Amino acid sequence: MPDYLGHRQRIRGKYQKSGFANWHDYEILELILTYAIPRKDTKPIAKALLRKFKSIRGVFDAEIEELKKINGIGANAGMLINLFKEIVSLYLLEDLLEQENIISSPKAVYNYLQASLRGAKDEIFKVVFLNTANRPVKVETIHVGTVNKAVVYPRKVVEHALKNKATSVILAHNHPGGSLTASEDDKNITQALIKALATVDVNVLDHIIIGTEGYFSFKEHKLI
């Protein structure tokens, strides 16, 4: 039996026995890659990914074309790695939509937004729509912009608020460059959206900016 087959069996057995307790980051990637790369030792590939992208988060945030530049990573392996982040985002979205009152559990909002927006190469503008009990009823991506600017039309947000029968919203977008400072454009569009939504009795509870290492809340900084 080839050495890599025995090693695959050992690493899978290790996971079945104790999960990821006391694992190195490369071992986690190595295990994932065994399901997409046949007949090859995945340890060197996992270590090469970490050298290139610095962390597991960096690997998961990378686009497929970037991943494929690593020797040994093909389309199947790149897609599998990308799927992990998408699955986590869907998991956290379900958790968010199951919250009875988002005011009493704001962490669910931040967890979902960080998973879905952090690491994106373009600006993405999302809106969380809430009902009269402050329960999330829908999360929609309103606009995907360029690397430095997302154009958001207040009328479009108002239309979606009415469609979802929302009484309040939480605005959110990412800064691909990582900055956690609200720009003048960010402040202006927030005020424009507050005024537009007020015409249909919808309140803006917060505007959250997701950066590389955290988030910026308009509410916490008393900008709303």
Domain that holds residue 19: 3-87
- Which of 35, 61, 87 lies at the terminal end of a domain, its last residue? 87
Q: Which of 168, 135, 32 is nearest to 87 (CA)?
A: 32
Asked if residue 20 has pLDDT above 80, the reply is yes
- Which of 87, 112, 141 lies at the terminal end of a domain, its last residue? 87
Domain total in the chain:
2
Predicted local distance difference test score (pLDDT) of residue 8: 77
Tell whether 50 and 124 lie within a shared domain. no
Predicted local distance difference test score (pLDDT) of residue 152: 79
- In a domain, residue 94? The reply is no
Tell whether 209 and 137 lie within a shared domain. yes
Asked if residue 14 has pLDDT above 80, the reply is yes
DSSP states along the chain = --HHHHHHHHHHHHHHHHTTTT--HHHHHHHHHTTT--SS--HHHHHHHHHHHSSHHHHHHS-HHHHTTSTT--HHHHHHHHHHHHHHHHHHHHHHHT-S-GGG-HHHHHHHHHHHHTT-SS-EEEEEEE-TTS-EEEEEEEEE--SS-----HHHHHHHHHHTT-SEEEEEEE-TT---S--HHHHHHHHHHHHHHHTTT-EEEEEEEE-SS-EEETTTTT--
Tell whether 78 and 154 lie within a shared domain. no
Q: Range with the lowest mean pLDDT among 76-80, 93-97, 99-103?
A: 99-103
Tell whether 38 and 132 lie within a shared domain. no
- In a domain, residue 223? The reply is no
In this predicted model, what pLDDT tens digit does every residue of 158-202 receive, in sequence order? Answer: 999 999 999 999 999 999 888 888 999 999 999 999 999 999 999
Predicted local distance difference test score (pLDDT) of residue 149: 63
Average pLDDT over the chain reads 90
Tell whether 111 and 25 lie within a shared domain. no
204: domain CATH number is 3.40.140.10
- In a domain, residue 62? The reply is yes
pTM of the model: 0.85
**Residue 18: pLDDT band with limits 50, 70, 90:** confident
- Which of 87, 112, 144 lies at the terminal end of a domain, its last residue? 87
Tell whether 113 and 211 lie within a shared domain. yes
Tell whether 42 and 128 lie within a shared domain. no
Tell whether 22 and 128 lie within a shared domain. no
Between 223 and 152, whose confidence is greater? 223
What is the average per-residue pLDDT within 117-134? Answer: 92
Tell whether 55 and 129 lie within a shared domain. no
Predicted local distance difference test score (pLDDT) of residue 180: 87
**Residue 210: pLDDT band with limits 50, 70, 90:** very high
